[in-house]
Chain A
Amino acid sequence: MHEVKAAMAGTIFSIEVKVGETITKGQVVIIMESMKMEIPLEAEIDGTVMAINGNEGDFVNEDDVLVTIQS
Chain B
Amino acid sequence: MTNESTKTAYNARLEEIIARISGGGPEKYHQKLEEQGKLFVRERLGLLFDEGKYVEDGKLANCEADDLPADGVVTATGKINGQTVCVMANDSTVKAGSWGARTVEKIIRIQEIAEKLRVPLLYLVDSAGARITDQLDMFPNRRGAGRIFHNQVRLSGMIPQVCILFGSSAAGGAYIPAFCDVVIMVEGNASMYLGSPRMAEKVIGEKVTLEEMGGARMHCTVSGCGDVLVDNEEQAIVEARRYLSYFPAHYEAPPKLAKAGRVKEGRQLEEIIPEHQNAPFDMYEAIEQLVDENSLFEIKRLFAPEVITTLARIEGRPVGVIANQPKVKGGVLFVDSADKVTKFITLCDAFSIPLLFLADVPGFMIGTKVERQGIIRHGAKLIMAMSSATVPKISVIVRKAYGAGLYAMAGPAFEPDVCIALPTAQIAVMGPEAAVNAVYSNKIEAITDPKERIAFSKEKIEEYKQEIDIYKMASELIIDEIVAPHNLRSVLANRFDYYESKVIARSPRKHPVYPV
**Residue ranges of A at the interface with B (Cβ–Cβ < 8 Å):** 7-9, 34-40, 62
Known: A7-B328, A8-B332. A38 touches B278 (CB 8 A): yes
B→A interface (CB under 8 Å): 278-280, 326-332, 334, 362-363, 365-367, 369, 431, 433-434
In the assembly, what is the distance between CA of A9 and CA of B431, in Å?
A: 18
Complex Cα gap A38–B327 (Å): 9
A sample of 9 more A-B contacts (CB under 8 A), given A35-B366, A39-B328, A40-B280, is: A8-B332, A9-B369, A36-B431, A37-B330, A37-B332, A37-B362, A38-B280, A38-B330, A39-B329
Which residue of chain A has its CB nearest to the CB of B279? A38
**In the bound complex, do residue B279 and residue A8 qualify as a contact, i.e. CB atoms below 8 Å apart?**
no
Contacts of A36 in B (CB 8 A): 278, 330, 362, 431, 433-434
Give bound CA distance, A8 to B364, whole Å. Answer: 12
Which residues from B are CB-within-8-Å of A38? 278-280, 330
Listed A/B pairs (25) with beta-carbon separation below 8 Å:
A7-B328, A7-B329, A8-B329, A8-B330, A8-B332, A8-B334, A8-B365, A34-B330, A35-B363, A35-B365, A36-B278, A36-B330, A36-B362, A36-B431, A36-B433, A37-B280, A37-B326, A37-B330, A37-B332, A38-B278, A38-B279, A39-B280, A39-B329, A40-B280, A40-B327
Judging by beta carbons under 8 Å apart, are B362 and A35 in contact? yes
Bound complex: CA A34 to CA B366 (Å): 10
Task: Name which of A7, A34, A37 has the most chain B CB atoms within 10 A of its CB.
Answer: A37
Main secondary structure of the interface of B (DSSP, over half): loop
Q: Is the CB of B279 within 8 A of A62?
A: no
Residue of B nearest to A34 (CB): B330
Chain A residue at smallest Cβ distance from B360 = A37
Contact of B367 among A9, A37, A39, A40 (CB under 8 A): A9
Question: Inside 8 A of B362's CB, which chain A residues have their CB?
Answer: 35-37
How many angstroms between the C-alpha atoms of A9 and B375 in the bound complex?
15
A71-B475 Cα distance, complex, nearest whole Å:
56
| Neighbouring B residues of A8 by C-beta, 8 Å | 329-330, 332, 334, 365
Q: Distance in Å from the Cβ of A70 to the closest Cβ of chain B?
A: 23
Q: How far is the CB of A7 from chain B (nearest CB, A)?
A: 5
A39–B327 alpha-carbon span in the complex (Å): 7
Bound complex: CA A7 to CA B433 (Å): 22
For B326, list chain A residues within 8 Å (CB).
37
How distant is A60 from chain B, measured CB to nearest CB, in Å?
12
